[in-house]
A = this chain, B = another copy of it.
Amino acid sequence: MNSPETLEEIGEHAAIAALTANLNAVGDDCAVLPLSQTHDLVLTSDPLIQNIHFTHEATPQQIANKAAGRVFSDFAAMGAEPQYLLINIVAPPEQKLQTLEKIYAELSILCKKHKVEIVGGDLAQGPTLELHVFGTGRVEKGTAILRSGANPGDLIYVTGPLGGAQKTGKHLTFEPRLEWGNALRESGTVTSMMDISDGLATDLRHILKASNVGAELDLKKLSLIGDPKEALFDGEDFELLFTAPPGAVFQDLKKNFPIIGKVTANSLELSLEGTSLEGNAFEHFKSQKT
């Protein structure tokens, strides 16, 4: 190719890979860094952009829920505890202050619920409404659940039904699985974990790559909403996807999460009920081929 490539041509995932090639990027839902003798520091950030992540029909409550929820879900995926948020809001000059005040009020309610404090941020002028939420928190030293710990023979679990998140509006109203993420980490049996934001198959591939393993999926026990393809390749379900050895007991959870497959030694090979699953993920920027 002669001219430099655009994001539309190369797609989101390849662009991120190119940009972060020279960084010690951790590739997990959050970055985990040394903090003290007892805890690690946990950091993440997520953008929420009008016409990309929500439409003009979304209510202030839904916008707040998705903006903070995406960050809380990242913490849940590590089994970590969010503590502080900073929020950059971008808005056009004609933006009604009242709407922003409602969004902020809802953010405050969500933060109170999860014992998180909003401690900073900024308000800047731009072409469309955006919220950039930055979260810091902590986890007991060395206990954060990464994507890289899955072993052949492990069973694969999810914390709830998958699919239809766009049509049902779950992508705006989901509950971040903070308590379950923490309890799963405390059980000491979970080997890898992440949240499902791009579809089960797409996200599971991140675990397979990080752990250098394969997986066979069997979705009989999974509650599927709508077309299975949505659950596999679209997403924004914000349930937790995790692995644990057979016989693992999730203490204090009093909940049986459905087993939806098992980890194999066939590096990066992913199959569904015996048929190989090729990559077909939704990607931002790229024109989608149907």
Contact = CB atoms under 8 A, between A and B. Distances in A.
Given A4-B98, A6-B94, A90-B47, A52 B118 contact: no
B117 A5 contact: no
A45 B126 contact: no
B10 A97 contact: yes
A104 B19 contact: yes
A101 B19 contact: yes
Contact of A88 (B6, B20, B47): B47
Contacts of A101: 18-19
A224 interface: no
Contacts of A23: 108, 118-119
Interface in A15-68: 15-16, 18-20, 22-26, 30-31, 33, 35-36, 41, 43-47, 49, 52-53
Interface in A80-138: 84, 86-101, 104-105, 108, 117-128, 130, 132, 134, 136
A6 B86 contact: no
Contacts of A4: 96-99
Contacts of A31: 84, 86, 119-120
A179 interface: no
Size band of the interface chain A makes with B: 35 or more
A47 B124 contact: yes
Contacts of A105: 22
Contact of A43 (B6, B25, B120): B120
A8 interface: yes
A277 interface: no
A-B pairs, 8 with minimum CB distance: A8-B93, A31-B119, A134-B134, A4-B98, A132-B132, A47-B124, A45-B86, A127-B127
26 contacts: A5-B96, A5-B98, A6-B97, A7-B100, A7-B123, A8-B94, A10-B97, A15-B97, A15-B123, A22-B104, A26-B120, A33-B84, A35-B35, A41-B136, A43-B84, A45-B132, A46-B88, A47-B124, A47-B126, A52-B125, A52-B126, A86-B134, A90-B130, A123-B284, A130-B130, A132-B134
